[in-house]
Amino acid sequence: MLKDGPTLVGPHAYVSYLPIGPVLAIMPWNFPYWQILRGAMPIVLAGNSYVLKHAPNVQGCARALLDLFAQAEFPEGVFSVINVTNDLVSTAIADRRISAVAVTGSVRAGSAIAAQAGAALKKTLLELGGSDPFVVLADADIDRAVDAAVVGRYQNSGQICIAAKRIILEAPIAAAFTEKFVAKVAKLEFGDPQKPSTYVGPMARTDLRDELANQVHRTLEQGAELLLGGRIPKGVGAFHEPTVLANVKPGMAAFTEETFGPVAALIQAKDEDDALQLANASEFGLSGAIWTQRKDLARKMARGLETGGVFVNGFSASDPRVPIGGVKNSGYGRELSHFGVHEFVNVQTVWFDRT
């Protein structure tokens, strides 16, 4: 249970943070342990129970998490798992025992689930897709920015909501950054995920790989330039080569859509104002990065960036000490930190002797 909090009234009134009950969590496959732990712990710490509906292809992870909570001696029912098809999710949402719904997934899925929950007047938290800008300004440390961009784009085979998908380069450093970035991506080991040295492995499913390949194809048809990769290798597995696209512009598929795989879109900006405008020219607003050695400029641009998180001279990540969540079509609500703990509570005012 959370401690009561003070109010401006003084000793006569306080605020209680009361649990609201079971929260249904509909979770994806791309980080099948961390996504659940980062969502579940704040909810459980607030006194609620957590009901996990995990992705169909990671049910083994769901069972392992269930065992983990049991081994940690959490009370029975605090963490539970339901294994239902997507068609039956609406039944679970409508169940009177469910008080709220948390979703990490696509915009389409999140929108549909939020509509179902809203019809039952149940609170929702949505952490949806992203097309995160990674802005590199003219005074940035190029070598550090390149290293961070490679990790930020290609880790987990690029299948991360907060990956650095749109790399926006101020004109004076665009050529130097591009040359170093392509050279570094070309050295990433690609292939067998069971080899410890492999950095980019297969994608989760062939249909997702094919969708990514289609996005690359359409972007090239729209006038972008292929600097590296771009092919589906022969053989079995949902593989897509690490790919770098240059001269990507607003309206192209790799700019407007979420590319959920190992594809980087390089975008040139005339100046810092143009870079900010390009960064915001997206329906998504999950996270973003700004590279500059001027802290005052970083703070100014951060305030102008339409995202739930901004990382200066680094790449986007989730950390238990700070909140994570988005704006625009990337969703609403926050996970992690004290903001995540207070997301699913009844904020109850208690006032003595008010006359």
Which positions are catalytic?
127, 161
- Provide the pairing of β-strand 331-332 with 123-127: antiparallel
Which long-range contacts does 61-67 make (Cβ < 8 Å, 24+ apart)? Answer: 61/32, 61/33, 61/36, 62/32, 62/36, 64/33, 65/33, 65/36, 65/37
C-alpha separations of 288 from 162, 301, 322 in Å: 8, 11, 15
Contact between 160 and 259 under an 8 Å Cβ cutoff? The reply is no
Round to whole Å and give the CA distance between 73 and 337.
23
* Residue bearing tokens 């988005």: 326
* Residue bearing tokens 């987990």: 156
Q: Dihedral (C-alpha) 145, 146, 148, 152: value to the nearest 10 degrees?
A: 120
Contacts of 282 (CB under 8 A, 6+ apart): 131, 133, 166, 255, 256, 328
Q: Would you put residue 111 in left (φ > 0), alpha (ψ -120 to 50) or beta?
A: alpha
* Residue bearing tokens 């079509």: 329
Round to whole Å and give the CA distance between 91 and 80.
17
Which tokens in the block code for residue 141?
A: 């440390």
Which tokens in the block code for residue 238?
A: 């949902």
